[in-house]
């Protein structure tokens, strides 16, 4: 990892290898990349300590937890209550992600629900939160491009992205 916290080509190659084989051992990664085991372990540790690696839960599909319905809710917030709204949304188990956005809405809230009735309940709970002025809910019909960083990692690594 570079001094500025950015990944270098070796880090990117390491992460691409882990993306392909998430359960690979440090030794297997070292052999694959032509690095020492200690180098691989040190780089993984440095990336983890600097927050470059997201939590494992990011890889868990809510559908396997009984929540196959995904929706995106745009939220308009009273700005002076943004912190309170954020805390309240974090307390809703079905809320899997919240990002602040610019434009017509203030927050983009991604939720996972059991079915349409469950989504109705969750959306109502979100709308009833103090500090939320209004919401708009859209169902995710299909994921066309899932969350990914491999093309960016390939660029940093100086290799062609895998198809």
* Mean pLDDT (the chain, rounded): 93
Compute the distance between CA of residue 4 and CA of residue 40 in angstroms, rounded to an integer.
19
Q: Cα separation of 31 and 39, whole Å?
A: 11
Element (H, E) at 155: helix 150-157
> Cβ(71)–Cβ(137) under 8 Å?
yes
What string of DSSP letters covers 99-141? EE-SSS-SEEEEEEESSHHHHHHHHHHHHTSTTEEEEEEEE--
Contact call for residues 146 and 158 (beta carbons, < 8 A): no
Q: Give the tens place of pLDDT for each residue, 90-111.
A: 999 999 999 999 999 999 999 9
Q: Are the CB atoms for 95 and 109 separated by under 8 Å?
A: yes
CA atoms of 137 and 108, how far apart (whole Å): 10
- What pLDDT, on a 0 to 100 scale, did the predictor assign at position 153? 93
Q: Is the entire prediction scored with pTM above 0.75?
A: yes
Q: Say which range, 11-15, 23-27, 47-51, has the weakest mean pLDDT.
A: 47-51
Q: pLDDT-based confidence at 163, cuts 50/70/90?
A: low
Alpha-carbon distance of 138 to 123, in angstroms, equals 11
Span 32-72, pLDDT tens digits: 999 999 999 999 999 999 888 888 888 899 999 999 999 99
User: Could you tell me the domains of the chain?
Assistant: 9-53 (1.10.10), 62-139 (3.30.70.920)
Taking the C-alpha atoms of residue 86 and residue 78, their distance in angstroms, rounded to an integer, is 12
- pLDDT tier at 2, thresholds 50, 70, 90: low
Q: pLDDT tens for residues 107-143?
A: 999 999 999 999 999 999 999 999 999 999 999 999 9
pLDDT at 162: 62
């Amino acid at each position: 990892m570079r001094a500025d916290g950015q990944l270098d080509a070796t880090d990117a190659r390491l992460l691409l290898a882990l993306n392909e084989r998430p359960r690979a051992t440090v030794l297997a990664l070292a052999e694959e990349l032509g690095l020492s085991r200690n180098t691989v372990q040190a780089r993984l540790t440095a990336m983890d300590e600097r927050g470059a690696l997201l939590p494992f839960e990011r890889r868990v599909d809510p559908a396997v937890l009984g929540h196959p319905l995904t929706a995106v809710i745009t939220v308009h917030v009273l700005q002076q209550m943004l912190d309170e709204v954020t805390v309240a949304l974090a307390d809703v188990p079905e809320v899997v992600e919240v990002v602040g956005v610019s434009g017509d809405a203030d927050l983009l809230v991604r939720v996972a629900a059991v079915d349409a009735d469950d989504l109705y309940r969750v959306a109502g709970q979100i709308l009833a939160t103090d500090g939320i002025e209004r919401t708009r809910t859209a169902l995710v019909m299909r994921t066309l491009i899932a969350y990914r960083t491999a093309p960016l990692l390939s660029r940093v690594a100086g290799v062609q992205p895998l198809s």
